[in-house]
Amino acid sequence: MHTTLIESLPVDQQHLVRRSATRLEDEFAGTFGTETVERLVVDSLHQLLPNATVTAFLPMLTERFARDRLKALAKVDGITAGAPGVLFLCVHNAGRSQMAAGWLRHLAGGRVTVWSGGSEPAPQINPAAVAAMDEVGIDITTEFPKPWTEEIVRAADVVVSMGCGDACPLFPGKRYEDWELADPAGHSINDVRPIRDEIRTRVEALMASLGVLTS
């Protein structure tokens, strides 16, 4: 495994990252070789590290990010078919896109593969967005801002952009939707609630267009 980046972490975290790679190698055995898995683990760490305010969580988040990317790559390569995939994109992946992803996971009940990402990921999710989603019984506290990656964009059947403009990736032949929504950044939960509710309405319409009924 490429060690330069990993060795920038404390020794205990280096060990955890290497264990994550081993788990993913076992999980994707027969689908991807060791080199592919390790490359995505190191690259995922590389992309998350600049915005990490608490590096203690990096090994766990790196593993989750790399797993999502490996699943996407398997779909792109035609190894797996899987459920319809939707990618929600905004600038910071801290508010709108996280709420949309939370709604879709909740309402679709595993019948849609859900990703989210940002062009300039924030250090953490907007607390007001977390609180607003908690009010409707959806926990997004374990989610984290992350960048979009090429294999995830290519694996998505629908890419929904929310204010990232020209920074959002464009791939020919892919279905895109642009949702004009107020940015919850810096606003109170009272201001975020209407955004949350509008996102639910849009997510339900998206599900209907995919032929997925609300759970």
Strand blocks (E) in 46-136? 85-90, 113-118
d(CA 46, CA 175): 29
Residue 60 buriedness (CB in 10 A; 0-12 / 13-18 / 19+)? middle
Distances from the Cα of 28 to the Cαs of 57, 68, 73, 79, 112, in angstroms?
Answer: 23, 12, 11, 11, 21
Q: What is the DSSP string of 49-63?
A: GGG-S-GGGHHHHHH
Contacts of 205 (CB under 8 A, 6+ apart): none
β-bridge mates for residue 87, sequence order: 115, 159
Nearest to 112 by CA among 212, 214, 198: 212
Cα-flanking dihedrals φ and ψ of residue 178, to 5°?
A: -115, 115
Residues taking part in catalysis: 90, 164, 168
